[in-house]
Each structure stands twice: as C-alpha cells, then as structure tokens.
Structure 1
Amino acid sequence: MRLLNLPGIRPWAGPPPPVPAHLEPIAVSGFTLAQTFGSHSTLRLKISSHHSGNHCVPHLPALLPSHSICSPQIPIAYSLISLFLLLQGFPGVIGCIDGTHIPIIAPSVNEGDYVNRKSFHSINVQIICDAANIITNVEAKWPGSVHDSRIFRECTLSTKFGHGEFTGYLLGDRGYPCLPYLLTPYPDPEPGPQQRYNLAHCRTRARVEMTIGMLKARFQCLQRLRVTPERACDIIVACVILHNIATIRGEHCPSEPNISSDPNHEHPDPPTDIQDGRAVRDTVCHNHFL
C-alpha cells in the first residue's frame, strides 16, 4: 500500500518557494511527467538544472516510504472531523473514499483482468481525501475488473480501521458495504432523518469526487496511459503526490474539475451491508439528523 498524508499544512500566501531537497526527486518526476505526457499542471517548481529527470519515475515508489505517514494522529483526526463537520454537518468524518478508473492500453499479460464493466482496460484506483482536497491514501495497483469493495477489504487501511486504530468514519458510495467505520447511504431512505442523512452524506462525499476531478484536470495523461500497468501505477502515484503539493501551495486547477460522478464508475451490484455497519449508520442518523 502507498499511503500519503500531509495534514495541518496551509497554502502559501506568497510566491511558491523552492522545492525542499528531500522532495526534489518527486518534483523532478513531475517535471518528467509533464514533458512526457503533456501534463497541464500549474505547479511552478524551482529545480536545479543538473537534474535530467529521465529516470526518476521508475524509481519513485522506493522514495515513498520515507515521505509517508501511515495513520492520522488523534489531534489530526479531530481536526479532520471538525473540517468535514463544517462542510455539510456530517459528524465524525475523517475521510471520503471512492474509486476511479484510469484507462490504459491493453497489456500483453493477463489482458482480460484489466477489462472493467465498461469494457475498456484500466487500473482501478482507490482514493481517500480530506476536507481540503488532500489525497491521504491512494491504492494504485488493482486491474480494472476488481470491485471497489474488494480493493478496500484487502488494503492495510481496512485492517487498521477494523482494529480500532482510527477515530471517525469514512464516507463511501454504494460500491462499498456499510461498515462500522465506512458509512454508505441508505439504499431506500424513508422521509425524514434518513433522507436528511443521505443528503448530508452525498454533499460531504462530493469532496472526493471533486478531488479526483482536480487530479485528472491537473494531469491530462490520466485520461489514458499508454504504458505497462506497472509503470501506469507509478505514474498515478506520482501525479497524486504532485496534486498534494499543488493543493498545499494553493495552486489553481488549469480547468474546472468535473465534480459529477464518474460515468465509468457505476455500481450495478452493490455489496451487502454488514449488520454492525447498519447499526452505526442508524445511530448516526437518529442522533444527528432528527
């Protein structure tokens, strides 16, 4: 798993400063991406001219562990909850989760595994973001035929939630089962609290759709990657890192992100909700949306 968490940092008020030395390899990877794949990122980087950048992207995953934070600390978790509460009044949220399909060319090995429900080849990428559009978790390693619920079930983050290592909830759509730590909408809401719960859930969870839209607007290469699946995953993670840097610096997207649901990411067969998850959802609904 590749975890990214950059909490508690505010956008720069003035001109962007030079990239810190420990982030230069990542920044150079972004420069290489821009040259190779035509990224339209507005990120302005000051990088020493002695970096060629020609071989940084393939080695990027080896750099990630030293710049990763695997779980939000308790004060940070409460800060995230407060920010999400201010958005639409949904309590206890520390992140919004969704999947997005990144199209790729047909691979030469296990080609059928990469064909998704829309009949094109893709990587199914799991994204979790905070209220400030920072991507705090990315899973970029699964072929397009794999369901969102399986990706979350088999990731380390799910195990950590199951062991009670986090305080708060994730919000997800009907592509996920309702769990005690991952709340989904009511499938057939009754008038009153359930409808108000669903409305607040939808408006809060829209943050991850906006974040994915911003990521794809900044990096047009993600419209279709003409590389092997392994290299595609490296490029996706590099784009996520650069998106976070741009967001922290207050950089604007080159175009308005599409915040509507991804038409390539429908869930015709939603997974079965877990009883304990339904009980937590009912408690949240009746305590906060009466």
Structure 2
Amino acid sequence: GIFLKLVGVSSLNNKFSTFDSFTILTNPTYILSSTTPSNSKVGASGETIPFQLIITNLGNDVDYVNLPSPELPSGWTGTYTDSSFTLQPSESKTIYLNVKVPENVFGGNNTITSKVSSDQSGQVETLVFTVYIDEKADIDIELVTTAGVVTAGTAGTFKVSLTNNGNTRETLSLKMEGKRSSWFTIFDAQGEAIDSLIMVPGDQVQVSIEVRPPLTQAASDTSGTLNVTLSSDTSKSVKLSLPLEVLKSDLIDDTVVEEEEDSLLPSLGVISTLLIVSLISIFRRKKF
C-alpha cells in the first residue's frame, strides 16, 4: 500500500495548518511474461542445443516462479539452468533450456514443450520449441532363403529380411512386379497377407513370399521382383529379384498322339466309287 499525508495551511489566521494521513491499499497482481528469441533450431544426433527463455514479472508484487520438467520426445533429455526462483515487480530473468539429442534420433521435426508457472497465481505460460533433424531414409532388403525349385501347381517360399538403417519412420509399400507377379503373395510373421509395413529406425523385419506357379506351367527358369517404396520419399524404392526354377507337374499329360501314316493304296471307299462310275458308263453305251 501507499501512505499519504495531506496538510492544509490557511492564508489567514496566522497561517494555521492542519493535516491528515491515510493509506491507499492496492491488491497484489501476479502476471508473468515468457518469451524466447528463437524457438526453432537445427540439430544432429548427440548434440546439446540451448534454448533461451526470458521471464518477466509484470505484476506489482513478488512472484515465485517454477519451471517443471519439459515435455520431450522419447529418449531426449532437457535441463534448465535454473528452475525455481523469485522475481520482483518488473524484474526479468534469462535462463536456458539445454536439450540433449540422442544418438538414435528420428529425422524431421522434434517438439519440446516448456512451461513457466506462477506459484502465487497459478498462471502457466507455455513455450514450444522445435529441433529439426536432417532426414536420412535408408531401407535395406536381403534375400535370406530362396524357394529354389518349385513344381507347377505347388507352393514355394522365399524369406526376405528388411532393415531400417535410416532415421525416418517409414510405412513401406510392398508390391510384386513382373509378368509372373500374380504367382506371388507376401505374408507377415503372423501369416497374414500384407501390402505395407511400418518400420521405425533400427527395426529389422522378416517377411515370407509364397510363389505358386499354375498347374499347367511348363518347366522354365523365371523370377519375380519385390518393389519396396518408402513413404518419406515415394520416388525412392528398393527392388529385389526372386529367381526360381519351375518343374512341370506330373499331373499334366503332354504325350503327343501320332497320326497314322497315309497309305500308298487308295482307300476302299475310293475303289467302290470308281467301280460304280465305270458300270454306269458301260450301261449307258449299251443302251444307246
């Protein structure tokens, strides 16, 4: 509050004076302001990145300021240079939030949320920071086992391993290509037919690819192609050839029936026809 004294002096009466005092009481106000000169930075795995916070007491009384632990992506850590302090009216304080980027960090934008609270009023100020990590997509596919030799009408199985060696979360599109693509079906570890697969950095997944040549397929060497397309960059794909040898099925009889050779002698029907024509000719000559 403010203590005031009011004095009155008469211009007459020998400058008689009197006074009175009073106090003006004001209610305390608690208002915090939190700002940052930069809320977005570029980082890399293993780095420590500092973010500056400027906290000001805009109220008219002492405020007690608290900064709880920041909200960070999984595996990240962050510490303040000071997380609990007092501020006089109009006083400001600069602190730093030091963010540690993990070694196996995901690429793209990573968000950190910082909160500044007043113990006096319960006011909470929120600041959101972003650290961008360069995206490096890298999917490796490897043929583990081959179907080898497959008899037409039966099934063979390929085993293929996929590894995410990059730092991007990928929803992979799996597709068989080639003129024999209809022979192939892709299955996950649970035996469910799939055409996509979600993989985070460091994941390694094995899929089975069943090949079933049709029963009437002739013996041949052929192949199909597995095309894996990345979601982070749909123009980028990885391909793997799946070769196999197809054997003819024993259920198919492809014996060629040989036709009888033509006889050098006229057939019995031809002889009969010629004989009848000759008899008719002789009969007509005798008649006339």
Normalising by structure 2, we get a TM-score of 0.17
Larger Rg over CA atoms: 2
Structure (1/2) with the larger helix percentage: 1
Structure (1/2) with the larger strand percentage: 2
Identify the structure with bigger relative contact order (alpha carbons < 8 Å, sequence gap 6+).
Answer: 1
Normalising by structure 1, we get a TM-score of 0.17
